[in-house]
Amino acid sequence: MNKNIIAIAIATLGFIIGLALLGNAIKNRNKSENTISVTGLGTKKFTSDLIAWSGNFSRNSFELKSAYDELANDKKIIENYLISKGIPKNEIVFSAVDIQKQFNYSTDVNGRSQQSFAGYQLSQTVSLESKNVAKIENLSRNITEIINLGIEFTSSPPNYFYTKLADVKQQMIADATKDAKQRAEKIAENAGSSLGNLKKATMGVTQITAPNSTEEYSYGGTFNTASKDKEASITIKLEYEVD
């Protein structure tokens, strides 16, 4: 008899605990559903204030010393040319000389491949980084002047950067947060409710593209360096309780 009473008591207690857990789950579910999630956008257009440009020049010869001497002479001519264009000497950076052996490849009468030494190719890169964007832009566009000096020179497109990007990001975050809150307030107002406490805030990655471009955003963020003029954007997702 006592065993039956104990069993009934345990079953009753389990039933009561189960009801309590179920009620708490329903309460929490309703509470979690009583929220608003909105995404705000912050954007900013700006113009780059730093430019980086580089060019490559090379010499070929069967004699390594001859090729090196010719390349050293080209380096001096390029340096003097850049200085004559108003580029400070301390802003002109030359890379180490890269040396590559060149080979000619052919096939003999038996179909076997063979190679023959075709000389050395020595190359070097000159790089500039400056806040005088207009000057370096003009220099990169008129690089044929170096070629006309008898130098085999290849110019790369300039890359553009902005040194105050941290300030831009802070302003965009503030704008995106304000935009998201205004959206949430409007939704709550239209629903006849009011915003409660902020539960969660999630910031997206920064996307920097050329203005009015068709560049696609990437999961890890986009950073355009090809355009002098840029447009940055960032999203902020806010989740509010609703009263």
pLDDT in single tens digits along all 243 residues of the chain:
444 454 444 444 444 454 444 444 434 444 456 888 999 999 999 999 999 999 999 999 999 999 999 999 999 999 999 999 999 999 999 999 999 999 988 887 777 888 888 899 999 999 999 999 999 999 999 989 999 999 999 999 999 999 999 999 999 999 999 999 999 999 988 888 888 899 999 999 999 999 988 888 888 889 999 999 999 999 999 999 988
- Which residue in 41, 38, 31 sits closest to 238, CA to CA? 38
Spatial CB neighbours of 113, under 8 Å, sequence gap ≥ 6: 105, 106, 107
Question: CATH fold of 52-159, please?
Answer: Alpha-Beta Plaits (3.30.70)
Residue with tokens 């020595």: 122
CA distance 142 to 148: 11
pLDDT tens-digit series, residues 139-148: 999 989 999 9
Burial 94-131 (b: 16+ CB within 10 A, else e): eeebeeeeeeeeeeeeeeeeeeeeebbbbbbbbebebe
CATH number of 34-47+164-242: 3.30.110.170
HEC assignment per residue over the chain:
CHHHHHHHHHHHHHHHHHHHHHHHHHHHHHHHHCEEEEEEEEEEEEECCEEEEEEEEEEEECCHHHHHHHHHHHHHHHHHHHHHCCCCHHHEEECCCEEEEEEEEEECCCCCEEEEEEEEEEEEEEEEEECCHHHHHHHHHCCHHHHCCCCCEEECCCEEECCCHHHHHHHHHHHHHHHHHHHHHHHHHHCCCCEEEEEEEEECCCEEECCCCCCCCCCCCEECCCCCEEEEEEEEEEEEEEC
pLDDT digits (tens, 9 = 90+) for 137-172: 999 999 899 999 999 999 999 999 999 999 999 999
Q: Which residue in the block uniquely carries the two structure tokens 């964007």?
A: 133
Q: Percent of the chain, pLDDT > 90? A: 69
Nearest to 55, CA basis, from 87, 29, 33, 31: 87
